Structure 1
Amino acid sequence: MSKKSIMVLCLVATLSAQAQTPKKATPAKKTTSMEKTGQTKMVEKVTRKGSELVIPYEKYRLPNGLTVVVHEDHSDPIVHVDVTYHVGSAREEVGKSGFAHFFEHMMFQGSDNVGDEEHFKIVSQAGGDLNGTTNQDRTNYFETVPSNQLETALWLEADRMGFLLDAVTQRKFEVQRETVKNERGQNYDNRPYGLVYEKKAQALYPYGHPYSWTTIGYIEDLNRVDVNDLKNFFLRWYGPNNATLTVGGDVTPAQVVKLAEKYFGSIPRGPEVKNMKLPAPVLAQDRYISYEDNVRFPMVQMTFPTVPNYHPDEVPLDVLSEIIGGGKNSIIYKNLIKSQKAVQANAGHPCSELAGEFTLTALPIPGNSLADMEKELRNAFAEFEKRGVTDDDLERFKSGYEANMINSLSSVAGKTSILAAYQTFTGNPNYLTNQLKANRAVTKEDVLRVYNKYLKGKPAVILSVVPKGKPEMVAKADNFKVDPDGYRAPADQYAGLKYVKAKDTFDRSKRPASGANPVIKVPPFWKDNLANGIKVIGAKNSEVPTVTLLFTLLGGHKLEAHDPSKAGIASLTAAMLNESSEKYTAEDISSQLQKLGSSINFGSGTETMTVSVSSQVKNLDATLALLEERMLHPRFDPADFDRLKKQRLEAIKNQSTQPTVVANNVFNKMLYGEGHIKAVPVIGTTATVESLNLDDVKKFYANYFSPSVTNLVIVGDVEKTQIMPKLAFLNKWAAKPVNIPAEPKVANIDKTKIYVVDKDKAAQSEIRIGYMALPYDATGDYYKATLMNYVLGGAFNSRINLNLRENKGYTYGAWSYFSGSEAPGPFTAAAGVRTNVSDSSVVEFMKEIKRFREEGITDEELDFMRSAIGQSDALKYETSFQKASFLNNMLRYNLDADYVDKQNQILKTITKEEINALAKKYLPLEKMNIMLVGDKGSIKPGLEKLGYDVVELDPDGAPILAKADAPAVTAEPKKAEPLKGRKARKEGRVF
């Protein structure tokens, strides 16, 4: 098995966040042997029997305590390396929160034999990608690289495990402290509902409990500590005996063990680390707390303490959370969403190593109070008592769990991460077997038992989040304050720690040789056409027994140019197609899909509508029958339309509370100009959506949902001869001509100006800089411009990111990119920066763009770009999703079968002179828009000193001052994902 899946992020975050030490399961086939003390020990070997769901591996332990787990998989020439340390924010002390996460940042700042910022550069240049993440219970570092780079990846990880501290300087400490503050500002303080977990944790757990603060920590704690505190944290927790090295992919266990012994074996053991176990929090009564936030919708969240991960009661509580508020068949969905009382409502049961939380959340639609919502959430429990647990409930949950698990095994990164998490928290990499047994064995009686034990009549923490200036909206007045009395600090664990370096018999300063690059082949594919005009392209992928279908219908939001007063109709039509069919209600379809372990989703974007289907091979026929119902026989129920329209209107109004959304919308409005449909958000505006009726949806579907503009990509464990007959039902879909409007001319930029949108008291400023650039072209100037931009703002080690993030500490991440399609798209440079450096950040952005345009690329940067992009091919085609995206591009842009070879030839032969000419041509500094969304009172005075005209705009992009002559407009440019890890939890998110 191999290949990536979307579910792996959620699954791995859940697995790696928690654990007790459970009994080990007997794997399919397991052998063990122990060698003499002082030598590496082979602990066990697990193999697969037949088609059972298991990840084969071998497990070893080095004399210094490092655990090594190896999964061999030669399906792709790539390898995933993961080093997990059993330390997270739960190991921190009161007054020193945020250390574990802070140290994650410091681990990328160089070590004795790896220069500053070189870790990212070396992995990127090798064609790989990398990251690090921290949660309450562990910190992990990982790389996915071509298999010839295995030794380099292990050398890098070993160097920072054993040779870090002399490279930790005060200056690096200060810069990364600012970066962490920026991360907190971006993801917590400046994000609506960003402080929910922090506030809840303070009330749910006793003062001093390791879960009573968040992983990011408090600003005052970050300000208080010094570099020696940080070094002590490393010495206490980062020893090899508190780590697991897991390697998966195109390797052999013998190869990995030999290299692990070479690079990690001489690193001394650290202090012993014992697992923690704490009693569950005890609440004597309901604790009501609240805070004010920059939100449109108030929110109430009710949280009950439960059990740690892997506790026998965890799975029954998971089932209960699904029944109460986990989907379209849940009680909360029926009572709050379907009835139009709430814009969002759900239940979840996230668990961690030391504790679990059963959480219910509701955001009311205006006209319903938080007190009403609290009552409704409590009523859901009462209804559950009457309703009980059904056979369907259990079947949906069990089928969904197994389908998600299968999907999570579709990549070496996914499998490696699962092995690492199970080893870290259970000591058994094969704990997947136990998890499957627990899920298959759960009964109705188990679910009723845990309800009575943990929820019925039990106190909870009830958190209200209300708009600023409206404290009267809370569900109930606060009755709880954090009380530090009685807290006893734990014994000091940091006294007498000494830094002892490894002594080697080889020169560790020499970077390992890489060997020959693996031979990469574009996946073989086949093409066909259906009688009604659908173009089909497919590829076999037998790594997991699943099939993915992706329909792409050209048009989408762009079709609304025919009648801009109906903007948002494409998106609303797609939402309606996710609802009921003529034969089945939306709840019926959702239930059947869950039982099948399948999914069907309709969506709409700027230029396309999409239909994505995922199914296990064994359930493909049943899934396609449901697809036929939804695609060809939509019910278009008036009640569904009324509910979805109301939700959209509320979501549009809510955008004003989200700085990143405001920035993206206003930036697009400025770029495209008045009258351009892409100047309007895909979701529409209040005025356009209010004008829509159900007949508009039916008309849009009838006119534009057509096979004549449809491409279909099929990737999975099926042959063409198997799948094509199953798609015969699509020929019932009658073709009709679809007139896709031509792109109007975009607004001109006469000269570079600064535009400011006020976001009162914003913790950060969102910056967007750019202009309308190029249409997509696989082998022309667009492709070459992306090569040019790579070292400017396309890589972590780009000039822009190294300057603003790593050198200045202004931001959590800064980047630039081109984003074109059939029509020209923008060049964008973007970042979220601290308010007090908004003007300085603009200066640095423009300085880097100007310097690159005038001075060009260096020889070293050209070599780096060629190597990084050229070797990354090994990672491009691993998963079904990656193959589907590749094939979809081929159809959409009518690309030749050898276009990848042509790109590689361009990459090899492009010269400095060509790159520099592209920079001069496509970085027009004098004709770019500079736009900031932030606290005007704080940022405008500094911006006015930069020598540009400064124009104020309202949140809709309209000029406020008479002198403003800016082209006005909105849409949503693609935003790069931040490079550091984010937590994923088993609960619903709020906006």
Structure 2
Amino acid sequence: MNNRWMLACTISAILAACSQTKDQTGLSSGAQQNSATNYTSSITLLEQHLPDAGEVGIAYKKYQLDNGLTVILHQDKSDPLVHVDVTYHVGSARELAGRSGFAHLFEHMMFQGSQHVADEQHFKLITEAGGTLNGTTNTDRTNYFETVPSNQLEKMLWLEADRMGFLLPALTDEKFELQRETVKNERAQRIDNKPYGRLNERFNQALYPVGHPYSWPVIGWPDDLNRATTEDVKQFFKRWYGPNNATLTIGGDFDEQQALAWVDKYFADIPKGPEVKPQAKTLVTLDKTRYLSMEDKVHLPLIYIAFPTVYAGHPDEAPLDLLANILGGGKTSLFYKNLVKQGHAVQASVNHPCQELACQLSLYALANPSRGGKLSELEQMITQSIAEFEQRGVTDEDLQKVKVQFKASTIFTMQSVAGKVATLASNQTFFGKPDLLADDLARYQQVTKADVMRVFARYIKDKPMTVMSVVPEGARALIAKADNFTPAQAAPAKTAVTLPATLANTVSAEPGLSNHNELTKNTAPRHFDRALVPEAGMAPVMTVPRLWRQTLANGIEVMGTQSLETPTAELLIYLEGGHSLVPVEKAGLAGLTAAMLNESSTLRSTEALAQALELLGSSISFGSSDSQSYIKVSSLTENLKATLEIVEEKLFSPALNSEDFERLKEQQLQSLQHLSSDPSYLASQGFAKLLYGENSSLGVSNTGTLESIKALTLLDVKHFYQTQYSASVVKMVLVADLNKASIIPMLKGFSQWQATPVSQPKMASFPTLASGKIHIIHKPGSAQSVIYIGKRALPYDATGDYFKAYLMNYPLGGAFNSRINLNLREDKGYTYGARSQFSGDNKTGQFLVTASVRADVTGLALIEFIKEIKAYQTEGMTAAEHDFMRSSIAQSQALDYETPYQKAGFVRMIQRYDLAEDFTSKQDEIIKTVSLSELNALAQSLLDLDTMTILIVGDKNQLTEQLKDLGYPIQLMN
């Protein structure tokens, strides 16, 4: 969630819409600390904050219950939704040596039901309510959150309170074992089966001292997970999950008095947990430079270097962030100039990620194998770049651009209630002050050139560092230097936590209120039936964005909507065609042309253009997809006109020079070879080939192939630019806080765009699908297998069978508690997640069922997939599933149009498919009226397994034995 130079906890903000006089206490007038007697004597108002007009900040009220629970309320009436977040101040840093992974494992356990919430009911209730949910764990905190329609708030508070206060009675050995397997699957998918996946956990062992809380991975070491027990989990919960170690934050459209009454009802009698004290923030130092290395299934050698620095909130954090940006923060940085621009590295960057206890200035570069790929040479170039910075110093523009970027990034991330809530919760958890945005902006604005040079001298210049080399298997000759460090292993702690004496010999106390050591003093238990699921309130009124339209003088259609919540603008320019215009033998041309347009113009260099955008806090990105080329523009409204002038310069006056072309072509070739080690990429590309064939652009990746990219020339790029980038195939979408009358004059420059004809080629015929067959792409030693099952299916249709197929598929694989996910993940523990979906555009579509599963159970997982698809096809969904689907999808629309990006997506759908502006009303009517029999008839016609093909990416030596008795012919794919 971090930007590379941004304070970790500052992830969102909002500009206050009004002001209110403040008294000398810093609270709004009349809001000094008092007891909130209107709703309950157990809740005390600690402070309330309302930023002044024009000040960056988030309005909030902060309360505390007698049991220590901190409650933060933020009102945002702009959309009919609420976001609830419960953050516990416990992450992997609270674990003990040799007992890693508990914080993350416990995050999984918190979704497995509690005393009054049945197994899988947590997911079902929120999904049925039209909401989304998740939980995350990092080194320093664990949070659980839901976004739901505003009428569902009480139900969310009931759910969160039940797992905070009543988890242990429902915790069983069976649930524990299942979630341990799920975590192992997550580790296999995200770490063991990914290129460079083990880099960070190996690196942190060398950067931090033995036993340091950051020296082990958040997900845990496999041996530590294996030695965990159910009793360990119970002890971990009792130690860290008390209300006094939690912050409950509610944001969105709700009544404050009612919300506080519900908080009092559900949370007030949860007993206080043991005292939680802050952890020591001792600065990390190294006695000498430590070198370590590892071989991996990768193509590009990688060097990763870090200097230990400070900790989040330290006075030196801000100047270190600016230093990182100058060294390696984009196309104006020294790393880009010396490593990437010169072709020695495919990628290179410098960051300063900060955590509660420690930060690091981290530098990395991916070596270009065509230049030899020796990491010792890259290390030397990195060292020279650091020395060059010392000689170069800091310029006025360095400071200006980073400060502008920081402000812009803060404003851009304020566009959702979830972002604002996360900011409030994080700042409260780590600093005790929910809104730090103005303070953060001030400390960045106050950084001087001398500050940057001072922190450089103190933490970086001539200081020991940790250097890690990751090289392809068998290529140890490429490492930067021989290893001189072997991590020591701390003896595993005998218990998962160190418990206070009052808890050391107890697992449960009073039934029901059994998770902590005693009832909260002076709090009478609430007498109500916690097993009753709260009723939802009146459904909120859904409103879709109001649209405006304009046609420019050259025929370009512009559609937009006004969004007043943030002073930002999002412009999307789409050109029909993209990859589909390109012959198969030139695959990748659309993407390479877009990349060239991200580079220099005839007026300015790449670096000069990047500098101009950074000084505006804006971004411009050219790209392509299977059916479109596009330009994405983000800008502060105050800088929109200047940003659009740069768009016009890049679009109408591209340099398209040979230097940029050769560099980008080489980077693309190396990227393709890197992707060949990613099993998910292999599965995606292999499946497209099976569905659409080698003669169709849909069967070959938009990124191209090694053969097609090698054959491309600069003349190809210039020709594609001349034929594709025409106003005749352009449409625009714009979402901003400005009205139509203010925006249209700024688009005048695009009226000069020539509207030359663009020939849309006829789509190639597709091959006969090789159904009833298993195709294997061999990936030796793969920890997991990626399974794809599917076929060509319906093209997009907003209100026809395509939309109904989406409804039909929902109980099968479209939600977390769908049949295939509950079976393969929750019941069998084969995977971290399994899903199915229909996708399509105006030309074609497909149906896909997919999961990454443990290599040793690939055959068993495939059997379960087949069983579920066949059963659903023949028997269809049940009446209960039908009701669940209708409720979930209908209510979820309250979440659909919150952010400018979501609004732009809605506008684009109408524009691209020529939909009526009220098409969502027609969809609502279909959801309400479509019958169970109609959906089941659709399942019977669309889900015939005999018309589908199967692709598995994994180790063929393991797979052949597992699959031989399934009755499917097996074919090896290249």
Q: Taking structure 2 as the reference length, what is the TM-score of the superposition?
A: 0.95
- Partner in structure 1 of residue 873 of structure 2: 853
- Partner in structure 2 of residue 195 of structure 1: 198
Structure 2 residue corresponding to 1:600, chosen from 577, 599, 620: 620
Q: SS of the residue aligned with 2:788?
A: strand
Q: SS of the residue aligned with 2:874?
A: helix
Q: CA deviation at 1:15?
A: 4.3
Report Cα offsets for 1:948-990 as digits up to 9, x if no partner.
1111112xxxxxxxxxxxxxxxxxxxxxxxxxxxxxxxxxxxx
Determine whether 1:372 maps to 2:377: yes
Determine whether 1:641 maps to 2:683: no
Structure 2 residue corresponding to 1:681, chosen from 698, 701, 707: 701
- Partner in structure 2 of residue 470 of structure 1: 475
Structure 1 residue corresponding to 2:320, chosen from 297, 317, 320: 317
Instruction: Provide the rounded CA distance (Å) in 2 between the counterparts of 1:465 and 1:148.
Output: 51
Q: 1:646 to 1:750 in 2, by over 3 A?
A: closer
Instruction: Output aligned runs, 1:8-27, within 5 Å.
Output: 14-15=9-10
Structure 2 residue corresponding to 1:797, chosen from 799, 803, 817: 817
- Partner in structure 2 of residue 967 of structure 1: none
Q: CA deviation at 1:7?
A: 8.4
- Partner in structure 2 of residue 703 of structure 1: 723
Query: Could you tell me whether the CA contact under 8 Å between 1:208 and 1:487 is conserved in 2?
Result: no
- Partner in structure 2 of residue 880 of structure 1: 900
- Partner in structure 2 of residue 74 of structure 1: 77
Instruction: Provide the rounded CA distance (Å) in 2 between the counterparts of 1:306 and 1:321.
Output: 12
Determine whether 1:552 maps to 2:555: no
Q: CA deviation at 1:711?
A: 1.1
Determine whether 1:492 maps to 2:498: yes
- Partner in structure 2 of residue 135 of structure 1: 138
Determine whether 1:953 maps to 2:973: yes
Report Cα offsets for 1:752-779 as digits up to 9, x if no partner.
1101111100100011110000100001
Query: Could you tell me whether the CA contact under 8 Å between 2:98 and 2:493 is conserved in 1?
Result: no
Query: Could you tell me whether the CA contact under 8 Å between 1:88 and 1:135 is conserved in 2?
Result: yes
Instruction: Provide the rounded CA distance (Å) in 2 between the counterparts of 1:228 and 1:111.
Output: 16
Q: 1:662 to 1:727 in 2, by over 3 A?
A: same
Q: CA deviation at 1:924?
A: 1.9
Instruction: Output aligned runs, 1:569-584, within 5 Å.
Output: 569-584=589-604
Q: Taking structure 1 as the reference length, what is the TM-score of the superposition?
A: 0.93
Q: SS of the residue aligned with 1:197?
A: helix
Q: SS of the residue aligned with 2:579?
A: helix
Report Cα offsets for 1:540-590 as digits up to 9, x if no partner.
101001111111111110001xx3221111000100111111211111111
- Partner in structure 1 of residue 559 of structure 2: 537
Query: Could you tell me whether the CA contact under 8 Å between 1:16 and 1:425 is conserved in 2?
Result: no
- Partner in structure 2 of residue 524 of structure 1: 546
Query: Could you tell me whether the CA contact under 8 Å between 1:641 and 1:694 is conserved in 2?
Result: yes
Q: CA deviation at 1:875?
A: 0.3
Query: Could you tell me whether the CA contact under 8 Å between 2:70 and 2:247 is conserved in 1?
Result: yes
Q: SS of the residue aligned with 2:220?
A: coil
Q: Point out the more displaced range, 425-434 or 804-813.
A: 425-434
Q: CA deviation at 1:11?
A: 6.9
Q: 1:10 to 1:319 in 2, by over 3 A?
A: closer
Amino acid at match of 1:285: K
Structure 1 residue corresponding to 2:771, chosen from 724, 730, 751: 751
Amino acid at match of 1:429: P
Query: Could you tell me whether the CA contact under 8 Å between 1:29 and 1:49 is conserved in 2?
Result: no
Report Cα offsets for 1:471-525 as digits up to 9, x if no partner.
2221111001123479999993362344344343111111111121101011110
Number of aligned pairs?
940
Q: CA deviation at 1:726?
A: 1.1
Instruction: Provide the rounded CA distance (Å) in 2 between the counterparts of 1:430 and 1:448.
Output: 30
Q: 1:28 to 1:570 in 2, by over 3 A?
A: farther
Structure 2 residue corresponding to 1:926, chosen from 908, 933, 946: 946
Structure 2 residue corresponding to 1:300, chosen from 303, 322, 325: 303
Determine whether 1:47 maps to 2:50: yes
- Partner in structure 1 of residue 364 of structure 2: 361
Q: 1:802 to 1:8 in 2, by over 3 A?
A: farther
Query: Could you tell me whether the CA contact under 8 Å between 1:11 and 1:408 is conserved in 2?
Result: no
Report Cα offsets for 1:5-41 as digits up to 9, x if no partner.
x989997965489xxxxxxx98684743133997311
Q: 1:334 to 1:643 in 2, by over 3 A?
A: same
- Partner in structure 2 of residue 279 of structure 1: 282
Query: Could you tell me whether the CA contact under 8 Å between 1:347 and 1:361 is conserved in 2?
Result: yes
Query: Could you tell me whether the CA contact under 8 Å between 1:97 and 1:213 is conserved in 2?
Result: yes
Instruction: Provide the rounded CA distance (Å) in 1 between the counterparts of 2:44 and 2:748.
Output: 57
Q: SS of the residue aligned with 1:913?
A: helix
Amino acid at match of 2:291: Y
- Partner in structure 1 of residue 35 of structure 2: 35
Report Cα offsets for 1:321-372 as digits up to 9, x if no partner.
0011110010000000000000111111111011011111011101131000
Instruction: Provide the rounded CA distance (Å) in 1 between the counterparts of 2:335 and 2:240.
Output: 43
Determine whether 1:329 maps to 2:332: yes
Amino acid at match of 1:116: D
Instruction: Provide the rounded CA distance (Å) in 1 between the counterparts of 2:179 and 2:302.
Output: 33
Structure 2 residue corresponding to 1:117, chosen from 98, 111, 120: 120
Amino acid at match of 2:480: A
Q: CA deviation at 1:706?
A: 1.1
Q: 1:8 to 1:821 in 2, by over 3 A?
A: farther
- Partner in structure 2 of residue 22 of structure 1: none
- Partner in structure 2 of residue 737 of structure 1: 757
Structure 2 residue corresponding to 1:166, chosen from 164, 169, 175: 169
Query: Could you tell me whether the CA contact under 8 Å between 2:97 and 2:493 is conserved in 1?
Result: no
Q: CA deviation at 1:936?
A: 1.0
Q: SS of the residue aligned with 1:65?
A: coil
Q: 1:719 to 1:8 in 2, by over 3 A?
A: farther
Q: 1:8 to 1:456 in 2, by over 3 A?
A: closer
Report Cα offsets for 1:219-239 as digits up to 9, x if no partner.
111111111101110010000
- Partner in structure 1 of residue 390 of structure 2: 385
Q: SS of the residue aligned with 1:931?
A: strand
- Partner in structure 2 of residue 982 of structure 1: none
Q: CA deviation at 1:897?
A: 1.4
Query: Could you tell me whether the CA contact under 8 Å between 1:576 and 1:641 is conserved in 2?
Result: yes
Q: CA deviation at 1:744?
A: 2.5
Query: Could you tell me whether the CA contact under 8 Å between 1:549 and 1:613 is conserved in 2?
Result: yes
Q: CA deviation at 1:311?
A: 0.5
Q: 1:862 to 1:489 in 2, by over 3 A?
A: closer
Query: Could you tell me whether the CA contact under 8 Å between 1:663 and 1:766 is conserved in 2?
Result: yes
Instruction: Output aligned runs, 1:200-211, within 5 Å.
Output: 200-211=203-214
- Partner in structure 1 of residue 16 of structure 2: none
Query: Could you tell me whether the CA contact under 8 Å between 1:8 and 1:414 is conserved in 2?
Result: no
Instruction: Provide the rounded CA distance (Å) in 1 between the counterparts of 2:816 and 2:647.
Output: 41
- Partner in structure 1 of residue 405 of structure 2: 400
Query: Could you tell me whether the CA contact under 8 Å between 2:620 and 2:633 is conserved in 1?
Result: yes
Instruction: Provide the rounded CA distance (Å) in 2 between the counterparts of 1:636 and 1:590.
Output: 16
Structure 2 residue corresponding to 1:107, chosen from 103, 110, 130: 110
Query: Could you tell me whether the CA contact under 8 Å between 2:784 and 2:852 is conserved in 1?
Result: yes
Query: Could you tell me whether the CA contact under 8 Å between 1:147 and 1:250 is conserved in 2?
Result: yes
Amino acid at match of 1:496: N
Query: Could you tell me whether the CA contact under 8 Å between 2:573 and 2:732 is conserved in 1?
Result: yes
Amino acid at match of 2:80: P
Q: Point out the more displaced range, 527-536 or 265-274.
A: 527-536
Instruction: Output aligned runs, 1:864-879, within 5 Å.
Output: 864-879=884-899
Q: Can you give the 5+ residue segments of structure 1 that lack an aligned partner in the other structure?
A: 1-5, 18-24, 955-991
Q: CA deviation at 1:466?
A: 1.1
Q: SS of the residue aligned with 2:669?
A: helix
Q: SS of the residue aligned with 2:35?
A: coil
